[in-house]
């Protein structure tokens, strides 16, 4: 199983190691301490997501739009975030491509990055949105 948060995995490992050393007498205190750290991490994640959502709503209001994006339209925040994440991920992908296949690997990595961004950008084109049918999984 791959850990989503390496810091929490380290904390869990440390807690389990401390439990082995200290014995079952301290088990409840160790578990409570670990759960408190998990709770803090969840709170910070939720706070970050709420702040991002509020910032996106403020951008919509600041641009003068009164309704959020609908029918598959991307908001500015979504487009900007997707582009920023793509550029951040481009660094390690480029390095991996170069290390494994030299220039060809770099070209393949950047072709993939450009392709993913092109598909994401194409979602906003009206002629593509009109022909796309909603699946049973969409609201």
Are both 40 and 97 inside the same structural domain?
A: no
- Its domain, for residue 25, covers 1-68
Q: What is the mean pLDDT of residues 48-67?
A: 80
| pLDDT score for 34 | 86
- Greatest pairwise CA separation for the chain in angstroms: 66
* pTM: predicted TM-score of the whole model, two decimal places: 0.40
Query: How many domains are there within the chain?
Result: 2
Please answer whether residues 90 and 72 qualify as being in contact, where contact means their C-beta atoms are separated by less than 8 angstroms. Answer: no
Q: What's the average model confidence in pLDDT over 25-29?
A: 86
CA distance 126 to 116: 19
Asked whether residue 137 is assigned to any structural domain, the reply reads no
pLDDT recorded at residue 139: 43
Reported as a pLDDT band with limits 50, 70 and 90, residue 107 is very high
Q: How many beta carbons lie within 10 A of that of residue 21, not counting itself?
A: 8
Mean pLDDT of 25-42: 86
Instruction: Give percent above pLDDT 90 in the chain.
Output: 9
The per-residue pLDDT for 130 is 54
Confidence of residue 1 (pLDDT cuts 50, 70, 90): very low
Residues 111, 55 share a domain: no
Q: Are 116 and 127 in contact (CB under 8 A)?
A: no
- Angle, helix 6-22 to helix 27-62, in steps of 10 degrees: 170
């Amino acid at each position: 199983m791959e850990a989503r948060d390496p810091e929490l995995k380290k904390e869990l490992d440390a807690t389990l190691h401390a439990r082995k050393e200290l014995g079952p007498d301290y088990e409840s205190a160790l578990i409570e301490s670990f759960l408190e750290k998990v709770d803090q991490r969840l709170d910070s994640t939720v706070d970050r997501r709420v702040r991002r959502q509020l910032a996106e709503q403020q951008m919509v209001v600041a641009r003068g739009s009164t309704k959020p994006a609908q029918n598959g339209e991307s908001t500015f925040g979504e487009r900007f975030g997707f582009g920023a994440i793509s550029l951040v991920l481009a660094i390690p992908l480029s390095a991996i491509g170069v290390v494994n296949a030299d220039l060809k690997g770099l070209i393949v990595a950047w072709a993939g990055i450009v392709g993913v961004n092109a598909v994401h950008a194409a979602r906003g084109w009206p002629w593509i949105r009109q022909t796309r049918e909603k699946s049973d999984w969409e609201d």
